[in-house]
Every structure is written in structure tokens, then in C-alpha cells.
Amino acid sequence: MRSAVALALEEDLAPLGDLTSSLIPATATGEATFVSRREGVVAGTACALETARQVGGVTALFEAADGARVSAGQVLGTFSGSLRSLLTAERTALNFLCHLSGVATLTAKYVETVREANPHCRVWDTRKTTPGLRALEKAAVRAGGGLNHRGSLSEGVLLKDNHLGEVPIAAAVKEALARWPGRMVEVECDRIDQVSEALEAGATLVLCDNMSPEELASCVALVRAHPRGKARAVLVEASGAMTLATVADYARAGPDLISVGALTHSAPALDIGLDLSCDTAPGHEQPVE
Amino acid sequence: MRSAVALALEEDLAPLGDLTSSLIPATATGEATFVSRREGVVAGTACALETARQVGGVTALFEAADGARVSAGQVLGTFSGSLRSLLTAERTALNFLCHLSGVATLTAKYVETVREANPHCRVWDTRKTTPGLRALEKAAVRAGGGLNHRGSLSEGVLLKDNHLGEVPIAAAVKEALARWPGRMVEVECDRIDQVSEALEAGATLVLCDNMSPEELASCVALVRAHPRGKARAVLVEASGAMTLATVADYARAGPDLISVGALTHSAPALDIGLDLSCDTAPGHEQPVE
Amino acid sequence: MRSAVALALEEDLAPLGDLTSSLIPATATGEATFVSRREGVVAGTACALETARQVGGVTALFEAADGARVSAGQVLGTFSGSLRSLLTAERTALNFLCHLSGVATLTAKYVETVREANPHCRVWDTRKTTPGLRALEKAAVRAGGGLNHRGSLSEGVLLKDNHLGEVPIAAAVKEALARWPGRMVEVECDRIDQVSEALEAGATLVLCDNMSPEELASCVALVRAHPRGKARAVLVEASGAMTLATVADYARAGPDLISVGALTHSAPALDIGLDLSCDTAPGHEQPVE
Amino acid sequence: MRSAVALALEEDLAPLGDLTSSLIPATATGEATFVSRREGVVAGTACALETARQVGGVTALFEAADGARVSAGQVLGTFSGSLRSLLTAERTALNFLCHLSGVATLTAKYVETVREANPHCRVWDTRKTTPGLRALEKAAVRAGGGLNHRGSLSEGVLLKDNHLGEVPIAAAVKEALARWPGRMVEVECDRIDQVSEALEAGATLVLCDNMSPEELASCVALVRAHPRGKARAVLVEASGAMTLATVADYARAGPDLISVGALTHSAPALDIGLDLSCDTAPGHEQPVE
Amino acid sequence: MRSAVALALEEDLAPLGDLTSSLIPATATGEATFVSRREGVVAGTACALETARQVGGVTALFEAADGARVSAGQVLGTFSGSLRSLLTAERTALNFLCHLSGVATLTAKYVETVREANPHCRVWDTRKTTPGLRALEKAAVRAGGGLNHRGSLSEGVLLKDNHLGEVPIAAAVKEALARWPGRMVEVECDRIDQVSEALEAGATLVLCDNMSPEELASCVALVRAHPRGKARAVLVEASGAMTLATVADYARAGPDLISVGALTHSAPALDIGLDLSCDTAPGHEQPVE
Amino acid sequence: MRSAVALALEEDLAPLGDLTSSLIPATATGEATFVSRREGVVAGTACALETARQVGGVTALFEAADGARVSAGQVLGTFSGSLRSLLTAERTALNFLCHLSGVATLTAKYVETVREANPHCRVWDTRKTTPGLRALEKAAVRAGGGLNHRGSLSEGVLLKDNHLGEVPIAAAVKEALARWPGRMVEVECDRIDQVSEALEAGATLVLCDNMSPEELASCVALVRAHPRGKARAVLVEASGAMTLATVADYARAGPDLISVGALTHSAPALDIGLDLSCDTAPGHEQPVE
């Protein structure tokens, strides 16, 4: 996180620094409040704090923790101190806050929609994250009430059609269990017979991809009836262009998990602003309209 | 760009590498095509090429250059070579392509809408970019036909209300011109009297923020009639929560430029997939020991 | 791997470069062979190749791939080209090769000992790796025929006594399954009643730590008889100061996996040398003793 | 050192953080003591402190400084504070401590063995260090009572047989003294006539490599009798597969220095553990569901 | 700045640290004063403070801020604390201070010479900076009273003869204004007819390169008389091997700005020393064991 | 060197790239020659080649190697290829070439002046280098015919007055020889009695600082007459604000080495330019003056 903030500040300040703030008296101080313009879920407050720390001269304080649900107009926190520093830090802090809160907010919408349809079904993310921000975006998903699928290719096995063109399901699953014991060994299935094959082979997750809710329900039933399903040795995940309009139908089909790429690749930013109230020095009488 | 790709691969491969690809024979080869599932504008092809180069063992070739308009189903390019490498590179290459093409595609929509309303008005971006990706996102805006506002706080002066609470417009502009000669000196204005003040003071851009189209038109008229406007010494920019629904009205009011933060902070990913055709055709009988 | 090699070369060459090689004529060329002085298993050849590439002026070729078993005196590969570059690259290439081959060689010894005692039992590593070299050392373990336990704290759940002082086993496992679905959820057990509790709670691995082989055998029997064991939903791992002298007894007790920290934290380097044969230019008659 | 710790934490925490610690209440606190399970010499305490600092939320305090001799069961220091942070920092701190204390402990054994045989003879290390850890391992050698040979190829001249195949000793030493004045100019010698040649040429160290103790004694006598030896202008070093069993014989032969590659390439880790004592609030009876 | 200091310390301390300071008692403390041996202008104090912070154990305090004019013998600031740390930090801190103060001092000489000749003319720098130090050197120019021309190629358009061989002035300026609105669009001119062409095309700066003061005066007159000149829409810059002997003549010709590459590429270091006063005063009787 | 070039390009191109080159047709090609405007000695050609490599699209070829003496107007090398790339690479390549050739050229002047006065005396540099460029500047000193003093604090012992305030010469030298055997152990002396003390103690270099040539000659005589001097066990270095006007007198006093800080901290850039000759495509008839 520290290096992500350092990189963002470097992007915004190299090589001459903040030209505009240089026009403000070096001794001016102020306080500014982060205000959400919309209802949403907050994420990225640690990045905003770190931005203040790295710029220096600014004290940051957040009332709203990651995961807090906020209403339009609600104050999230404050930056106070050197006015120059505060204005220099503003955009970088906001870029983190708005993007990550956007991810958390969209996640929360999916989570609620799914929970209403099926309280036993959970929403998780994918590896379709913004390059360089995976850790932060996956944390934002958790802030929004979602779970995290694999953090990386290094974390578990997920055999997709592109892999299975080369190796049959049973052989691939067997090899995966032998070489990478203890990990998730998931198989992407387009049809119920593949689910059956994956189950027999020992897969620990079956991913029902691009099925109808009805097909999904059949696959769920198949898994639940199987001895390995009964022994809680295998989970069912659904995926495939989920939208807020369609996800409830899939949830009702009974999978354990639904993955939604949009959480991280298409979440619009949450609109958060920084409202400044300058410290007018005592006795400073100048009329300001 | 090289370091952004290296960072993204590191995120996806550390520390054990691609567990799933390790299950595929090391000698298997394949060819895969990048196919756009939607109409859009392409950006990020250099990142996809660089991903292939860094992973190694994959030859990448793109037919569609950055800025190309593609239709649903159109092939953008190919990865060919080691199947393991190709599958390892897939998600990282796609994460860049989908995100940056998303930015280019949304930009193109704004650019077309504005151009139809006023061919002399241009769309440009803001500093509301994803941390760590500013250079790439700003290039994607250009690929989409947009222009780039300031690259950073170091590039020009933009006096916003937060700055102007501390220093009057005339004094701030004069100081900016003296200390940072040759740069843009832009003033954010909420009212036409501020535009007038900025104009007199020597600002080189006036930013009409959160005005109605009618107010904007008045400001434009004021600027055009002024000697500095006639001498092409000052441009008018409009901003403030532009949407595809409202931007045409603003364009018709006659500004030189309209800035749209959503281009970089809220563009949904363009849906691009990688379709694999393994070199071993189906029905291949070769004995596998 | 590239950055590890770059770091190692930086360590050895900053700031003045290789003083000794500067005394050799810039045009001198040579060929040198990497020769193992002992029997062992090779790992780290990619690092040696990368060292040659980064130093420049040297062509590297390895006959022995990672995982190859070599005998004392066997040639692993060659560096040829500029004599200066070759001598500059020598120590860095060897430091990688000797250390990583040492890890692979020790791993192979454990793997063989275990396999003879119980062909169904596998050896894997721990997170007790040398700082900065985890990816390379875990690859060396694979080269030696071992498997990899968790790559990092981010990859799976392993509840140790230090965690379980704060939360009871059943509650912790339940929470782990809910928050991190699909991952390994392993419980470190000192006593058979803990194994039983972990099994019931849904753990996917039970770690029998510091038990006698007899206690371990009882735990294995318990797991195998349980419905979740029968459904292949849970594995048994043994750990605790394994040595080459004691590991066979543990293997015979029947666990699926035995973890050995020494593979990465205490493997002596494999003794590999670089033997040079200078190219004496044709007609170069000077008597060399 | 800071970057080595940052790299090690990155290895262990990316991208999702510590899954297991996330299951512990965020407010739980504890204190843990670093305890040596074996007798040895401590090194790497600064790395452990830095690990605590970078993870945050943990206060670290070490009683045993680098170089301290500790007995089995002795407490080296403590981590106290957030239980989550403490458990997250544990393995990284231990990986540094155990490895570097292992180097210091093995060094101390060689130093004592040599000192008993010849109090004027010193032990030093080589460039056979673990890639990326040279500075830390060389500091650990000092903690163990050893000295440091060249820090890098940039620090001094050491003409080995591979160099001397191309240039005669006398010419090489003369050139070295001319181009790199003030530095060590050492010559690796297999035979006493080479020592003689190096001495005449002005070498500042002669390295007697792979000789018998008797041959070494002859070389030492030759050097001591030479005017440059009498003027303290040249030192004698012995090397060549030293072991704890053979090193005393070499020390008694009278060299100034003995170099031992094993100090850094083959030191087993010192077994140090972290023993936790959770802060169970006084009398807290709270039922945990 | 932090990374520049870290890099400089790494250069000076890797891999074994400060050998000489290791000979001083670890507990010795001292205070040292930075004293300018010559008259000059100070810059780089933040780097000296940061050096102390990164080395640790040293408290730094600067009386002279960046931009302060100091006389020979004047104290700039102090380092106090651990004598080892203080001596380790000395050279790195001085290397920054002396180089950057050298830039500021030379800048101040140009600024004064120009100001006396023409109070409306300003001196600014070029992109001819020392690789890796652009931000710091450009800040030192400001400390010396100069201004900053473009921070980078990314900041504005400057069409030189090398560009204009390929595209005519009018077309290039038009394209620049269209693609990069709001930026400086400067044209390098060797002759007055090029100035005229640039003016008509809409350039915002004209760079009169390698002209005589008389030619420059003609160009200035041309610009001032033009409507765009009257509207303050275009500035005149002079360049071309300026020296302290010739720059006044150019200033009197009336340009707005004069650029001087020597400020950053040929400024001699300002001679600043660090004078130590150990805490143990001479005559100290304390027994040293 | 690679990272220094990458850093310099990053400085000059982030975040929007080269705005001006973007105005040139992407397909235009050209060839440009590096021409020295002054007599001097070349250094930094590897940096220029690396700059071309990193920018891409440019082929670089240098006729003049580092260390070559060139006359005014002499061609050093060429860049050919994409005109955009060539112009983008120009300034970065020149910044390295001009600065490093400046160091080499000033070094060569000192070397020649000293050689004429005393062919046995050599010139070397100090640690007063530009932060971040030590390796490159020290290589430029060698290109100019100079030698390199310590590369860093880690390379050898140099006891200055600031150290010797705390520890007496004899004790410090003895400790240095014991703890850092084989290294230079140099003592800074202001008076001949200190030289005597350093000699007796076993110093390997004595640094006569700020003495008159006569005092220096006395010290040289003292050293040459001493048994350790006769055994070539100690060298004499002179230092102290050497100029081209005074250095010959010091050289004639007979020291082995003279150190000159100005070589790296105050060398003016060598004036080198890049002259472009565009490739006018065949049949491209446009009149170009």
C-alpha cells in the first residue's frame, strides 16, 4: 500500500511539485472534510491516511472505517494542517478513496441482492482487477461484504476450458491433487456431465459457467447428493456475466458462491469530495465574499 | 509501461507461479486470439505485447492498433507459442486491454456526442485517474479521440475554489504568470464575474464549473468578445458532472473544451476475451504415457 | 528471478565494477564449464542463464536441467565468451546454483527416504525460507521432488497453537471456511482429541505436530475412518523437527504429507565449481607452465 | 536492511494479507518471547525490530544484542501488541533471526577452534553469500567474531588461477598496483614458487589454496622471512574446503587469516522460536459462541 | 527526494557499511556544524535533513533555509548525536548541499546580472540537468531566484530546428495548439522571419536562439507590436551559450526570459564543510579502559 | 547504469510522453550525429547506447569510445531510425554524455599537468560525487586517465581529523588493521609528526592534507626513508583544494597520488550537440531550405 501511494504521488508531483499550491502562503493552514456525495460503502481510508503521511504537514483523521455504509452528505474524515500540503494531497487521496469505495459500493449491491435471494450464497471476486491494485481492490471487495476468490495464479488451481482442451478433466484433477495438495482444485464446467466428471475426480470446487439458472440448479442438486458433497468436500460456484438484474435468479439456484468480475473491472467511482474551510488567522479582517 | 506490466505479473504469479499451467505438458503449444465481445475502441495493445515479452515463450501480434474502432466479434490480435506461457500471460494482458479499451471506448462516446453538437469543442480528461495508471489511462483517452488536460500538478496552474479562498483571483493569476511563465494558468469559476476577473488578470483558461448551459454560453460570449479572447490568448473549459445525456447541451454553449472525470474514474471495462485453439486438434489420438 | 539476479550483481559490482577482471585484456575470450564436485540434484540453472544475460558478453548453455540428478565431476553447463564478463559473472551464478542445488539435493534425500518407507507419503516445505528467495527456494524444492506447502500467509489458513489460544478450534475453522472458502484450512494439533475436533469442524488438513510415530498413526487411523476422510476431504500432515534419521518412522505411520523446514533453512550448498579453459589465440606461442 | 525486510514481508503477505490472523479478533493483544532452543550466537536483531516496525502495531524489544552468546532456552527479546500483527510478523522476523544467527553461530565455532590453535590467526568469510543478503550475512559473520574478506568485486583485487591463465603473476600484480593503488592485491597460489613470485611482485596478500598444513607452514615461513613480510606489507591467507575438523591444523601452520566459505553458504539455521502468552483479560469468563 | 537520498547512502555504504566509523566507540557523541567556506546561496537543506533521518541517531537542524544568501564562514546548520552516525552521514549530506548550493549560487549570479540590466527580464533553466536530479536541481534554481522552464518533455511543446526540418512552423504550431491545448507552444527561431511566422501561427513563446543582442531586440519589437503580444499571449525567450559576460547585453534587448543551460550542467559545487566538535573537550581526563 | 538511464527517461517523459515529437509523422525517420563542439575526452557512450535501447526504434553507433580524445567538430557517433524516438532520446543521451565527458575532460587536464611535473605521480578522485552517479562518474575519471580512490565508505579506512579527535592515531590504525585486514588504512595528516606516527602504526597510505609543497616534500622524504616505505608498504597522497595552477608544484614534491575533488563535483559539461539530417523520403519534393 505504501508503494502504491508513493507511486501515485510521484505521478502527480514529478518533477516540479504542485505549481498551484506554491502560490499559496507557506504558512496558511486549513481543515478539509471528506464528504460522500452519494450513498455508498467506504474503502481505501488507509490509503488516504498514508497519502497525508507521505506528503507531510497534514494530520488525517477518519471517522468512517473501511466497510462503513455512508449516506450522501456524510463526513468521512478530515485533513488538517498546512494548506499547501492539504491541497497537494487532495487528488491522490481522493483517487484512492473514490475508486476503492466504488468497488466496495458495487460489491455491497451484489451482496445484498444475493443475500435476499439466498442467505447461504456468497459473492466473491475474480482476478479481473486493475493492474497494480489487486491487493487494494480485493480488500475493497471485503469491505463491501464480498469474499475473495484466488488472490493469484499461485494460490490455487482453476482448470478452464483453455486448459482442458489439452488434458482431460479426470487426469488434470488427479494431477492437481497430487502436485498441489491442500489447494482448491476447481473445474470450469459448461455442462452437467463435466460437473459429474469433476466431482468423481476429486475437484474441490465446480464452476458452473454460463449456464441458465435451471442448469445451475441441476448441477447443485447433483453435487449435494454426492458423497463428497455430503462430506462438505466440494463447493459450487456460478459465473458468467452476472448483472444486478440476473444475479438473484442464479442465487436462488443454490450455489455456494457467485463470482462477479464487474466488482473490480467496472465499478464506477463513488463520488467523494474534499470541502475546505480555511483557517482565517485571528484579526485577519479582509472581507471575503 | 514496462514496470506496470512487471508489477501486474508479480501480483499474479508470486510466489509459486501459475499452479494450473504447471499441469499442462511443457511442450504443448497453441494459438489464441483476442476477440472483442462488444463494439468499442482499442487501447493497451502495447501492454499486451509487453506482457507476452516478459512472460517469454509467446509471440504476440496485434492487428488492431490503439485507437482502432472494433465491432463485436472482431479479432484484435493473437498470442502464439508455449501453451503454458500463453495461459499464464492471458489474464494480465486482458486486464490491461479491457480496462484501457474501456477508457478509450467511453471517451469515444463523449467525443462523438460532443462533436455532433459542436465540431469545435473538444473533450479532455482530468487528474481523476486510477493510482499508478495515469500515463496509460491518459494515452487511452487519446486513443479514444480525447485530449489530455494537465498530466500532473507539476504541469500547470489550476486555481480552484479551495485555492482562491486564500488568495484573490487577480493576485493569484498575476503571481502564477510571474512564477510559472509559459504555463496554463487556469481559474475555476462558478460565476460570470469571476470569469471576467480571471480574464482581466491574464488567465489562459477559464474553467466554468457547475454552470447551466445558459450561464456557460454567457461566459463564452464574454471571453470571445474580450481582446485577449480575440488574440487566442484564453480558452474556455466547462466541467461539472458531465454525462452522455447532458454533455451535448454544454457543447452547444460553445466552450473550447469539456472535461469529463468519468473517462478515467468510471469507465466500465470493454469485454475482450482470449479464444484458444490448441495445436493438437480434437480427436488427436496420440498416446499419452 | 530477474530482480533477484540484478540485486545479486549489484551487490557484487557496485560501485567500481570488477577490479580484478579489469586487469585482463578486454579482447580475451574463454570457455568455462560448471562442474559438480559432488553427487546431487541441480536447481537454479535459470538464474545462471539470467546472470550471463545481465552481465552481457557471455553465452550460457546448460545441459543439466533443474531436477537433474548429477554425479561428482559431471558437467552441468558452460559459459563462453568474453573472459572478463565470464569471470565477473562466475560468483553470482555459482551462488545461485550452489544454494538452490543444495536445497534440491537435501529435498531429494528426504523424498527418497520417505518414498522407501511409504510410497504414498509426500515431503513438502514450509515458509521457513531465506528472506527474498522464497520463490526460488520453493522451485528448488520441486526440483528435488518435493511439494510446496503454502507459498505465503495469503494462500491458506493454518491455525497454530498461537492462534488457538485466542479462539477455540471449532469456531476458528468455521469462521475460516466462511471467510476464505475453497482454501486449505489446516489445524495444528498436539493431541488426538484436537484432531477429532478439527475433523468435525471441517478442517481440510490436520497437522500432527511433535507427536511420536505411534500417536501419529492413531491420528491417521482416526481420519481415515471418518466420513470426511473417506470422501478425500481431509489430509494428514506430520511435522516437528524431522531428520533423515527419524523421517522414515513418521512416513510409515501413514500421513499424506510430511513437512520439513530444514529443506530451505538448513540445506548446505552443493559444491559446484567453474573450470576455465582460456582460448589461447592461434599462434600465441608464449610458454605457459 | 529496510528493503530486505520489505521484500520478505511482501513475499509473505501479497496479495491478500494474512488469512489466518484475520480470524482473530482485531482488538486482541498479546506478548511473545523469542527463545533460542539451542546454544548459539545471535544476529539479525535489527531485522526483527524492523519487521515489527513495518508490520505496525507491535512493540519489539531485544535484550540480546547481535554477537551475544545465548544458551538453550534463553529469551532474546519480545514482541508485544496487536495479536494479529504479532502473528503476521512472526515468521518473517524468525526467518531473519534464525538464518543470520545460524551464520553467527557457525562463525563462532570456527573462530574458537582457530583461536585455541593459534591466537594470532583470524577467520574471515568469502563472497559465497546468499544472493540478496550479502550485507546482512557479512554483518552476522562479524557478530560471530569473524572478519570480512572483500565485500565485493569492487573492493579489491584477487587474482585466481582463472585470471592467471591469461596474465603472468608478476605482470598482473604490477598492473593491479598501478591501476588500483591502496587496495588489497591478493594472489591465489597452489605452490610455494607462486608465493615467492607474488611476494616479489608486491602482492599484499598471498592466498595459499588447497595446500597441506605443511606446505602452508613453508609458505608462511617464506613470507615472514622476506623484507616485505617483515615490514608488515603482506599477509598470508589459507583456504580450501576448511572444516571444523581440519581448520586447527591449518591455523597452527601460522597464517594470518583463514577463509571459510561455509560460514555463509552452508550454515544451518539456529533454532529460535516465538512463544506466545496471550493477554487473557483478568477473570474474563465471557462465553464465546 | 527520499529515494535520491536512499540511493546516495546505498552508494556510499554497501555492502559493509562505514569501515572507519566502526573504529570509533559506539557511544561517542558529537556535534558538527555545516559551514560555508564561500559566499553563496544555499539549497538542498531538505536533503541533508533527510540524510540524517535515514542514517538515524543524528539530529539535524538548519538555520539557513533554501534560498538564503550566506557569507564565507557562516554556519548553515548542525548535525548532533552519535558520532559514528554523524560521520557516516557527512559526505552524503555534503554532496547534496554542495552540488545544489552550487546550482543556486550560479543561478543567483545570473539573476542579479540580468536584473541590473533589465528588471523585467527573468532567468530560467533548461532540461540540461544531471540525470536523476532534475527535481532537486530545478528546485535549486528556484532557490537561487531563477524560474523553471519545462520540467520535462511531457509538460509543453518546444519546436526546435530538428523538429521543424520535418514540419513547417505554421502547421506544427497549429497541430500543437489543437492536440495539446493550454500548453506552452514554443518555437525556436534563428531568424526574425521565423518569429513572425510563429507569432501568426499562435505560438505562446518564441525562442530567439543564437542571435546577436541587436537581432534579439528586433524580434522583441516585432512581438510587442503584434496584437497577440499586446494581449500578453506570447512571450519572448533568448538562448544560446549565455555567459555572465554576455547575458546583460541580451537582457537589455528586452526579452521576457533568458534560458541558461549552465545553471544545471556546469555549476561548480559551493564549498561547504562540516566542522566537528566532539563532546569530549580537549584535556578530558576520563579514564578509558 | 540501466537504472540510471531508466530514471532519467522517466524524469523526462512522465506522464504524457514527448508532446513535441507527437507532432511529427510517426513514420518519419532520420539520422543524427553526436558532434563535440569542443576539444575534450569522451565518457558516457554506454549511457547513450542504453538510452537508445530503452526508448526503442533508434539504432545507436559510437565511433568514439570512452577515453577517446576528440577535437572540436569531431563526430562521436550516430542515432538513426524513427525521428520521433531519436528526438525523444536526444536530451537524455546528451545529459549523460556532456556531464560524464566533462568529468573525463577535466580529469585529463589534471592528469597531463601532473604527468608533466612528475611522471610517477597519479591523479585520483574522491567520494565528492554527484548523488546517484558515483559509478558513472568514477568510470569517467578512469576514462580521463585518472584513478579511483575509495568507491565507498565500505571499501577502506580513511581516518580524518574528525575521527582522530576521538581516538589516537596509533590506536586507531592498530584497530583498523586488526578489524579490516588487507584494506587500505589511510591517515589524514596535517603535520609531519602525524605522518611519522601513522607510519609507525602501520598505515598503508598517508594523506598530507593542506600542506605546502615544501611540507609535502618533507613528508615524502620521511616515508621513502622508512623501512615500510622501502618495502612499498605505504603510499603518500596529497590533497587540499588542488587547482590546475597549483597541482604541478605538489606533484613535483613527489607524492604517489594527488586527490582532486573538483573532478567530480565541479567539472563543467563538455559541449556536445546532436545534429539531425532528416531522411526525406524518395520522391518527397517539398522545397526545404
Mutate to test the interface with B, among C129, C148, C183 (most CBs of B within 10 A): C148
Residues of C in contact with D242 (CB under 8 A): none
Is the pLDDT confidence value at A209 over 80? yes
Mutate to test the interface with A, among B3, B5, B12, B20 (most CBs of A within 10 A): B20
Residues of B in contact with E122 (CB under 8 A): 181
Interchain contact, A231 vs C235, CB within 8 Å: no
Is the pLDDT confidence value at F184 over 50? yes
Per-residue pLDDT of chain B (289 residues; tens, 9 = 90+): 899 999 999 999 999 999 999 999 999 999 999 999 999 999 999 999 999 999 999 999 999 999 999 999 999 999 999 999 999 999 999 999 999 999 999 999 999 999 999 999 999 999 999 999 999 999 999 999 999 999 999 999 999 988 888 789 999 999 999 999 999 999 999 999 999 999 999 999 999 999 999 999 999 999 999 999 998 899 999 999 899 999 999 999 999 999 999 999 999 999 999 999 855 443 333 333 3
Give 3-state DSSP helix, strand, coil % of chain A, rounded to 5.
45, 20, 40
Is the pLDDT confidence value at E271 over 70? yes
Residue with the three cell numbers 510517426 = F26
User: Can you list the residues of chain D whose pLDDT is less than 50?
Assistant: 280-289
**What's the first-to-final CA gap in chain D, in angstroms?**
44
pLDDT digits (tens, 9 = 90+) for E182-211: 999 999 999 999 999 999 999 999 999 999
- At residue B260, the pLDDT reads 98
Is the pLDDT confidence value at F289 over 70? no
Give the count of beta carbons closer than 10 Å to the beta carbon of residue D261.
Answer: 19
Residues of F in contact with B139 (CB under 8 A): 17
Q: pLDDT-based confidence at C287, cuts 50/70/90?
A: very low
Cα–Cα distance list, E176 to E172, F20, F86 (Å)? 6, 8, 19
Instruction: State the cell numbers at B284.
Output: 488427436
Residues E229-246, mean pLDDT to the nearest whole number: 94
Contact B157/B185 with Cβ under 8 angstroms? yes
- At residue D165, the pLDDT reads 83
Catalytic residue among B125, B186, B188, B197: B188
Tally C-beta pairs within 8 A across C and D: 224
Interchain contact, D148 vs E16, CB within 8 Å: yes
Q: Spell out the alpha helix ranges (H) of F124-244.
A: 134-143, 161-164, 169-179, 192-201, 213-225, 227-230
Q: Which residue of E has its CA nearest to A19?
A: E148
Q: Which CATH number fits domain B2-104+268-288: 3.90.1170.20, 3.40.390.10, 2.40.128.720, 3.40.50.150?
A: 3.90.1170.20
In chain C, CATH 3.90.1170.20 sits at 2-104+268-288
Residue E277 or E120, more confident: E120
pLDDT digits (tens, 9 = 90+) for F61-86: 999 999 999 999 999 999 999 999 99
In chain D, CATH 3.20.20.70 sits at 108-265
Active site annotation includes A252:
no
Residues E243-259, mean pLDDT to the nearest whole number: 98
- At residue E177, the pLDDT reads 96
Q: pLDDT-based confidence at C277, cuts 50/70/90?
A: confident
Please give the full DSSP string across E120-147, using - where no structure is assigned.
T-EEE--S---TT-HHHHHHHHHHTT-B
Closest C-alpha to A150, from A177, A128, A180? A128
Residue B266 is classified by DSSP as S
Which subunits have 3 or more CB–CB pairs within 8 Å of chain B? A, C, D, E, F
Residues of C in contact with A202 (CB under 8 A): 232
Closest C-alpha to D69, from D22, D33, D111, D32? D111
3-class SS at F168?
coil
Interchain contact, F151 vs D154, CB within 8 Å: yes
Residue F66: CB partners within 8 Å, gap ≥ 6? F42, F43, F44, F45, F46, F104, F139, F140, F143
What are the residue numbers of the active site of C? 91, 128, 160, 188, 209
Identify the H or E element spanning F50: helix F45-55
Give the count of beta carbons closer than 10 Å to the beta carbon of residue E243.
Answer: 10
Q: Spell out the alpha helix ranges (H) of chain B.
A: 2-13, 45-55, 83-117, 134-143, 161-164, 169-179, 192-201, 213-225, 227-230, 247-252, 262-265
What are the residue numbers of the active site of D? 91, 128, 160, 188, 209
Residues of C in contact with E14 (CB under 8 A): 11, 14
- At residue C167, the pLDDT reads 86
Q: Spell out the alpha helix ranges (H) of chain D.
A: 2-13, 45-55, 83-117, 134-143, 161-164, 169-179, 192-201, 213-225, 227-230, 247-252, 262-265
pLDDT digits (tens, 9 = 90+) for C189-209: 999 999 999 999 999 999 999
Please give the ipTM for the structure prediction.
0.94
CA–CA separation, A203 and A237 (whole Å): 12
3-class SS at F34?
strand
Look over chain E and give the mean of its residue pLDDT values, rounded to a whole number. Answer: 94
Tally C-beta pairs within 8 A across A and B: 222
Instruction: State the cell numbers at F273.
Output: 550537440
Residues F208-231, mean pLDDT to the nearest whole number: 96
What architecture does CATH give domain B108-265? Alpha-Beta Barrel (3.20)
Pick from C183, C230, C235: CB nearest A181: C235
Q: Which percentage of chain A shows pLDDT scores above 70?
A: 96
Residues C210-227, mean pLDDT to the nearest whole number: 97
Give the count of beta carbons closer than 10 Å to the beta carbon of residue A6.
Answer: 16
CA–CA separation, B21 and B82 (whole Å): 11
Instruction: State the cell numbers at F15.
Output: 506522464
- The alpha-carbon gap from A11 to the nearest alpha carbon of chain F, in Å, equals 7
Four-CA torsion D66, D68, D70, D73, nearest 10 degrees: -50
Q: Max alpha carbon distance in chain A (Å)? A: 82
Q: pLDDT-based confidence at E279, cuts 50/70/90?
A: low
Q: Which residue of E has its CA nearest to D147?
A: E16
Instruction: State the cell numbers at B23.
Output: 499441469
- At residue D190, the pLDDT reads 95
- At residue C278, the pLDDT reads 58
CA–CA separation, B206 and B187 (whole Å): 5
pLDDT digits (tens, 9 = 90+) for A253-283: 999 999 999 999 999 999 999 999 855 443 3
Interchain contact, F133 vs E135, CB within 8 Å: no
CA C225 to chain centre: 34
